[in-house]
Amino acid sequence: MPLTNVSRSALDAERIDVLIQMGSGPSPIGDSPKRVVYEHSVELSRIRIDTVADFEVRAGKLITVWPAAGTGQKDIEIFLFGPVWATLCYQRGLLPLHASAILRDGGITAFAGHSGAGKSTTAALMHSLDYQLFADDILPIAFNENSEPGAWPYLRRLKLRRDSILQLSLTPAAPVSERLDREKYFVQPKCAADDKWSRLERLYLIEIDAANSSNSIERIVGAEAVRALIDQTFHRDFIDLSGRLDEHLAFCSQLASRIAIYRLRRPPLLGAGKEFGSLIRAHLESTTA
């Protein structure tokens, strides 16, 4: 089905192996007094977002949607592209990292952080410095046959607040939602990564430091790096409810040993300042992942 502000893939339809469909009949979740419901197992997950939709994710290949009465498609897509897609990633053996990403010299640089840390704004800032946009909000990571970590591009469009859009002189395409996320707008990049798998080389963990008025970057390794990856896993409820904590820990440990991870501290009121972008660019160009 057509999806808002998502480009059509040039891939042959026979190679596409994920089907998103509208459900027929009543939702399998049934009646529940809870506003949010998560039911997860390894092969089957069900998610309810009250007043939005019920979702069923099966075997990493099929997403079925039962929309709530009166809900709009954009509201459904907020969760379809968030916890529902992350659940699909888990079922396929991928790690959905809570990160936005750019492409530099054929390798992925990711910016992870909790909501409000500035992942999308940082990716937009680096995109304004001529790096290709690779992903926004979720980066689905896998290991290839050579045990190299990497990903395919995901949602090569940005969701930004108006102040960031104005500061970066960007053009908003449309509001993310008229009901649930009215403060953010979609922004189409001028240069996005091609439809191909790329290696993940480094990750910056963005942290807001209220006690500091300057920016800083430091390398983190070992157990601290593994904890950072676990902490920045998108939709951790799947891991906890499906009993896959040991598998997840092993994945994060392997990933931490194969990429460079840095803590990137910034002051609360930095915004998308040129100083911040210059710092990251200089670090990218002067260090080897």
| pLDDT recorded at residue 135 | 95
47-51, 160-164, 267-271: the lowest-pLDDT one: 267-271
Task: Find the mean pLDDT for residues 23-46.
Answer: 88
Question: Using 50, 70 and 90 to split pLDDT, how confident is the model at 270?
Answer: low
With 90 as the cut, is the pLDDT of residue 268 above it? no
Q: Would you say residue 58 has pLDDT above 90? A: yes
Predicted confidence (pLDDT) at residue 214 exceeds the cutoff of 80: no
Is residue 234 within 8 Å of residue 98, measured between CB atoms?
yes
What is the overall mean pLDDT for the chain? 89
Phi, psi of 111, deg, nearest 5: -120, 110
Separation between Cα atoms, residue 38 and residue 19, nearest integer Å? 21
Q: State the span(s) of the chain assigned CATH 3.40.50.
A: 95-286
Nearest to 103 by CA among 185, 189, 172, 166: 189
Predicted pLDDT of residue 3: 75
Average pLDDT over residues 242-268: 92
Which 8-state DSSP code applies to residue 105? T
Residue 36's pLDDT band, with cuts at 50, 70 and 90, is: confident
118-144 pLDDT per residue, tens: 899 999 999 989 999 999 999 999 999
| Contact criterion met (CB below 8 Å) for 133 and 191 | yes
**DSSP 3-state of 269:** coil
Nearest to 107 by CA among 143, 131, 126, 138: 131
95-286 CATH fold: Rossmann fold (3.40.50)
